Amino acid sequence: MPRTLHVERPRDLDAALAALAGASERTRVLAGGTDLMVELASGRAAPDRVVDVWKVDELRGIADEDGGLRLGALTTCKELLASELVRARADVLAAAALEVGAEQIQNRATLGGNLGTASPAADLNPVLVALGASVRLASARGVRDVPVERFLLGYRRTERAPDELICSVAIPPRPSGERRAFRKVGTRRAQSISKVVVALAVVLDGERVASVRGAAGSVAPQIVPLPTLARELVGKVPGDELLERASRACAREDAAPIDDVRSTARYRRHALQRVLRSVLAELRDRSG
């Protein structure tokens, strides 16, 4: 049954918020198009309204904020890779951006798009959770900040109300001495959707673990934080045996993987455990 699809193309933030003011669940926001255009072509998405925010320049920009970063929602993977500020303060986010699709996708896939789509396999989102990032949402009703961990609610479900627009992401300043890592296990070495994706951030105080934050994708309906790691490791010396135990407990308790077209639950759980153990060991052994 043919329906009319209404497309709006606001030129600035006020116009975008006005366009979204009357939005329903069937209103979609269009950023770089790497997700939505596929969904429209396949019929998976059948919105009645699309608000294209690509030309809203207020949604762009990479800036210092209180020693951390403020990243516009339309920041592309390519811009993350090219930014000296991002490399200096959150290099792990650039590492993740490098693994998103390949060149053509990286030129268009955005932070806001990754967050808004909320696919459990999104590559950037686990990094944002591990770094304690927050999302700034704006609407005609006002502005609010939501920690990314609370923003991602479930399978392709977010905290964003239909009339809200993802404006920017804030990444807090790096805790002193925090070491970060990102690891993606894809279906091939480029241009792939992850089977397991992990981001970790660890602070060592002398020999002991002072803090550990982590998040994983593709092992549950949404990105999951890895609280078991903190419980198992904080305050302890991360020797190989402890890392083995902690990664096992984490893979058993924090993940709920499934069988799907890309992989199996069994593989995902084991790969997650093994990757966590190896990445934690690598972070421990990293000098400086």
Q: Which residues bind another protein (CB under 8 A)?
A: 1-7, 9, 30, 33-34, 37-38, 40-42, 46, 50, 52, 54-55, 78, 101-105, 107-108, 185, 187-193, 195-196, 240, 248, 251-252, 261-264, 266-267, 269-271, 273-275, 277-278, 281
Q: Which of 193, 265, 226 is nearest to 126 (CA)?
A: 226
Nearer to another protein, 8 or 91 (CB): 8
Which runs of consecutive H residues, i.e. helices, occur in 43-169? 77-82, 84-98, 103-106, 111-117, 125-130, 148-151
What are the tokens at 93? 């986010």
Q: In this complex, which beta carbon is closest to another protein, that of residue 52 or of residue 149?
A: 52
User: How many whole angstroms separate alpha carbon 45 and alpha carbon 34?
Assistant: 13
- Of the pair 117, 134, the CB lying nearest another protein is at 117
Q: Minimal distance in Å, beta carbon 5 to another protein?
A: 4
DSSP 8-class letter at 264 = -
Residue with tokens 């303060």: 89
Beta bridge partners of 198: 183, 216
Nearest to another protein of 28, 136 (CB atom): 28
Q: What angle do CA 87, 126, 190 make, to 5 degrees?
A: 75
Least distance CB 243 / another protein (angstroms)? 12
Kindly state the smallest distance separating residue 288's Cβ from another protein, in Å.
20
Alpha-carbon distance of 165 to 112, in angstroms, equals 9
CB-based contact 163:140 (threshold 8 Å): yes
Q: How far is the CB of 228 from another protein (least distance, A)?
A: 13
CB of 117 to another protein, least distance (A): 14
Nearer to another protein, 228 or 273 (CB): 273
Nearer to another protein, 88 or 102 (CB): 102
Nearer to another protein, 121 or 133 (CB): 121
Nearer to another protein, 13 or 146 (CB): 13
Least separation in angstroms between residue 120's CB and another protein is: 15
Least distance in Å: CB of 174 to another protein? 27
CB burial string 239-258: b at 16+ within 10 A, e below: eeebbbebbbebbeebbebe
Contacts of 23 (CB under 8 A, 6+ apart): 49, 51, 162, 163
DSSP SS3 for 267 = helix
> CA-CA distance, 31 to 173, in Å (whole number)?
27
- Residue 144, phi then psi, degrees to nearest 5: -145, 155
Q: How far is the CB of 150 from another protein (least distance, A)?
A: 29
175 φ/ψ angles, rounded to the nearest 5 degrees: -60, 145
